[in-house]
Amino acid sequence: MKNVLMYMVFIMIILLLMMMLLFLISSKSLLDREKSSPFECGFDPLESSRIPFSSHFFLIAVVFLIFDVELVIIMPMMFSINMVNSTDLYMIMGLFLVILILGLYHEWYNKMLDWM
């Protein structure tokens, strides 16, 4: 038991020394012009790359992604109608579609689908 404890202390000391050494070696420059600029084939960019991003566009993209994934989930259900109990399959599909319709209503109610 004493050997195990000594071994653990020894390992902890080695790990602590390695972490301190790596912290001293890896001196990162926080304000480096090259790291904060976008890469455009070695040329200086013509415009600022830090333009504001429209959160509405992001929400539209997320809505599209959700309904795209929905099709990926529903399509295999259509092909497995003959192999599975149809009442169970219809209940699963119905529950899935109800959840999607509730999500669509929530997006419509919060005006996420308005373009302007």
> What is residue 11's predicted lDDT score, i.e. its pLDDT?
95
| Cα-based distances in Å from 79 to 1, 46, 86, 90 | 62, 52, 12, 13
> What is residue 37's predicted lDDT score, i.e. its pLDDT?
64
Establish if 82 belongs to a structural domain. yes
Number of domains in the chain: 1
Establish if 13 belongs to a structural domain. no
Q: Residue 13 region, left (φ>0) first, then alpha (ψ -120 to 50), else beta?
A: alpha
Establish if 50 belongs to a structural domain. no
Establish if 20 belongs to a structural domain. no
> What is residue 8's predicted lDDT score, i.e. its pLDDT?
93
Intervals of the chain under pLDDT 50 = none
Establish if 62 belongs to a structural domain. yes
- Domain span at residue 86 reads 55-109
Establish if 11 belongs to a structural domain. no
| Cα-based distances in Å from 14 to 6, 8, 26, 98 | 12, 10, 18, 58
Is residue 79 within 8 A of residue 35, CB to CB? The reply is no
Establish if 71 belongs to a structural domain. yes
> What is residue 50's predicted lDDT score, i.e. its pLDDT?
65
Establish if 83 belongs to a structural domain. yes
